Amino acid sequence: MGKLISLIELPTVPDDGFLTIGQHPHIPFTIKRFYYIYDCTPNLLRGSHAHHKTRQILFCLRGSVRMVLDDGKNKEEIILDKPHIGVILDKLIWHDMCDIQKDTFMLVIASHSYNKKDYIRDYEEFKKITNGNK
Ligand code: TYD
């Protein structure tokens, strides 16, 4: 795994099933928002944007998703299919969510509240911003 993909492994206790815990210091920011994504049309591409400020962690609680991360220079991908493993979607990381299945259920925790202006949805604009940062 390269330097773009950074995973968080949450502690899990067997408790007539499993119980997974997310808390400081495993979660490296204060959570201002969470949302979940489910009942998706299979294999439809989601994401395809980056954020100016917001940092997020995405967990795939059920099913699987292939995450492609891009910092404007390099791309790396990973398949998430374990409920206690999350991928960090740092600010200024373009992310695509691919190969989503009907039963895929994703939880995303975020460092900022929703703000439309925090989105970068134009890839050329993203490239300009990230190249300017180097
Ligand atoms: P979007 O972030 O584009 O979803 P994805 O990355 O999964 O493709 O959001 C989809 C829609 O939901 C868009 O119209 C904005 C809305 N939305 C909110 O209103 N609040 C939120 O916190 C999020 C994440 C999305």
Between the CA of 33 and the centroid of ligand 1 the distance, in Å, is 12
Q: How confident is the model at residue 98 (pLDDT cuts 50, 70, 90)?
A: very high
46 CB near ligand 1 (under 6 Å): yes
Which residue's alpha carbon is at the smallest distance from atom 20 of ligand 1?
114
Under 8 Å CB-to-CB from 7, ≥6 apart: which residues? 1, 78, 85, 86, 87, 88
92 CB near ligand 1 (under 6 Å): no
Stated pTM of the model: 0.95
pLDDT tens-digit series, residues 64-76: 999 999 999 999 9
CA–CA distance, 109 with 55 (Å, rounded to integer): 8
- Most ligand 1 atoms within 8 A of CB, residue of 46, 57, 67, 112 to mutate: 46
Q: How confident is the model at residue 50 (pLDDT cuts 50, 70, 90)?
A: very high
Cis amide bond preceding 83, omega within 30: no
Between the CA of 51 and the centroid of ligand 1 the distance, in Å, is 12
